[in-house]
């Protein structure tokens, strides 16, 4: 089962990515600002080389001129190897255009994946709102934050630094030390699933092998061959649901890497993982007669991220369950197909992954016509 950890309790109710200098917590890990007024590529090269997720440190290269409030959150997610579906029904990524939801996803993954140091390049180009969200993330997750400014400090950052304890770095040697500084709590690597190796699984390759969603009984060879003809692709075998070993075999590892790389929403990733290894949509996963099923190593971080996300939504009383709401069902169908997961039989075209739904079931704040940030396909 997932590790039992809790997000820092900085607010009551749902966490929102808001921040002001007067509410800065004491004792946070260092904030470092690297000054590179001449835009020397050596500074950038040092920051990119510092990207070592296995050691709890990521480097974020913000998308140029992207000003949508959620765009920096999208860049952070991609830096942790989390990607959005590149094609298909936009229901799969409807949530990502909502600023609060996108930043909660970032915070949940940072906590679950043990990210302790975030390096942001081109910080002189990000907006004042992005600085607010970034400093709010630092307050919540207690990350070490290093900002590289390859030009004059933007007014928003200069104003914030007046009230924020920080270290200013001006030389290349000092910059290299700053970006390579260890995370506050380096994650133990032994025994962990190497989620940071999953980036090679995105974007999907056309015609890549696919999988059948596991059921309680493993399909026979004839069943797999029939599915391969129907799907027009090679179908790789997976263990039967409830019989996944703690460590994955080769086909399961391939699928696990896809689950880590192709699903950016923590709850969607966790729910699909539980559906795969337990043929269930909720936790705790039951093995029969009330016995809890052991969570495979590749699913632990996914489930923990979902628990963190639910806490950040203000649902701390329900953190053990990656609960799926009606408007998430279409997104799960999209996520499953992005990972090459299909039902054993061709599904009824009127049905989705777990239940029929429509976009009208989304929360009003997440609909593109409700005044929120549009979905990535139309904005960021």
96-118 pLDDT, tens digit per residue, is 889 999 999 999 999 999 999 99
DSSP code, position 80: T
pTM, rounded to two decimals: 0.87
Longest Cα–Cα distance in the chain: 69
- Residue 10 scores a pLDDT above 50: no
Summary mean pLDDT of the chain: 84
Q: CB burial class (10 A; 0-12, 13-18, 19+) of residue 292?
A: exposed
What gap in Å lies between CA 190 and CA 174, rounded to an integer?
Answer: 31
pLDDT attached to residue 88:
54
pLDDT tens digits, residue range 281-300? 666 666 655 567 889 999 99
Confidence check: pLDDT of 23 > 50:
yes
Q: Is the peptide bond before 99 cis (omega within 30 degrees of 0)?
A: no
Higher pLDDT, 3 or 68: 68
Q: What is the pLDDT of residue 288?
A: 59
Overall average pLDDT of the 133-144 stretch: 96
Give the 3-state secondary structure of residue 360.
helix
Q: Is 286 exposed, middle or buried (0-12, 13-18, 19+ CB in 10 A)?
A: middle
Q: What pLDDT is stored for residue 4 in this prediction?
A: 43
- What's the confidence (pLDDT) of residue 331? 86
Q: What distance in Å separates the CA atoms of residue 253 and residue 247, rounded to the nearest whole number?
A: 9
Residue 52 CA: distances (Å) to CA of 79, 193, 256: 10, 15, 20
SS3 state of residue 288: strand
pLDDT in tens, 337-378: 999 999 987 555 445 454 433 444 555 444 433 333 333 333
Stretch 31-39: mean pLDDT: 96
More confident residue, 330 or 209: 209
- For the stretch 298-317, pLDDT in tens is 999 999 999 999 999 998 65
pLDDT band at 144 (very low <50, low <70, confident <90, very high): very high
């Amino acid at each position: 089962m997932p590790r039992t950890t809790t997000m820092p309790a900085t607010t009551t109710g749902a966490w929102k990515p808001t921040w002001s200098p007067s509410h800065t917590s004491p004792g946070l890990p260092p904030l470092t600002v690297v000054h590179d007024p001449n835009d020397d590529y050596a500074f950038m090269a040092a920051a990119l080389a510092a990207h070592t997720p296995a050691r709890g440190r990521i480097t974020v290269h913000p998308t140029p001129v992207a000003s949508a409030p959620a765009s920096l959150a999208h860049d952070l997610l991609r830096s942790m190897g989390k990607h959005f579906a590149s094609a298909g029904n936009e229901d799969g990524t409807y949530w990502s255009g909502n600023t609060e939801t996108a930043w909660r996803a970032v915070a949940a993954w940072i906590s679950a994946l043990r990210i302790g140091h975030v390096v942001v390049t081109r910080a002189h180009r990000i907006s004042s709102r992005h600085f607010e969200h970034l400093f709010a993330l630092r307050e919540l997750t207690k990350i070490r934050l290093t900002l590289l400014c390859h030009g004059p400090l933007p007014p928003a950052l200069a104003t914030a630094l007046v009230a924020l304890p920080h270290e200013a770095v001006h030389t290349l040697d000092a910059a290299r030390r700053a970006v390579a500084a260890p995370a506050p709590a380096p994650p133990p690597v032994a025994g962990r699933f190497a989620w940071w190796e999953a980036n090679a699984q995105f974007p999907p390759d056309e015609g890549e092998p696919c999988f059948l969603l596991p059921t309680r009984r493993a399909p026979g060879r004839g069943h797999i061959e029939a599915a391969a003809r129907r799907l027009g692709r090679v179908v790789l075998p997976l263990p039967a649901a409830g019989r996944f070993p703690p460590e994955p075999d080769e086909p399961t590892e391939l699928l696990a890497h896809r689950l880590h790389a192709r699903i950016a929403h923590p709850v969607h990733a966790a729910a699909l993982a539980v559906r795969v290894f337990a043929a269930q949509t909720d936790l705790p996963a039951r093995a029969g007669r009330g016995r809890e099923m052991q969570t495979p190593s590749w699913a632990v971080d996914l489930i923990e991220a979902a628990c963190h996300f639910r806490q950040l939504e203000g649902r701390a009383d329900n953190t053990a369950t990656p609960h799926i709401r009606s408007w998430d069902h279409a997104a799960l169908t999209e996520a499953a197909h992005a990972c090459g997961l299909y039902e054993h039989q061709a599904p009824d075209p009127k049905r989705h992954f777990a239940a029929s739904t429509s976009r009208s079931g989304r929360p009003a704040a997440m609909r593109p016509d409700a005044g929120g940030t549009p979905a990535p396909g139309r904005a960021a």
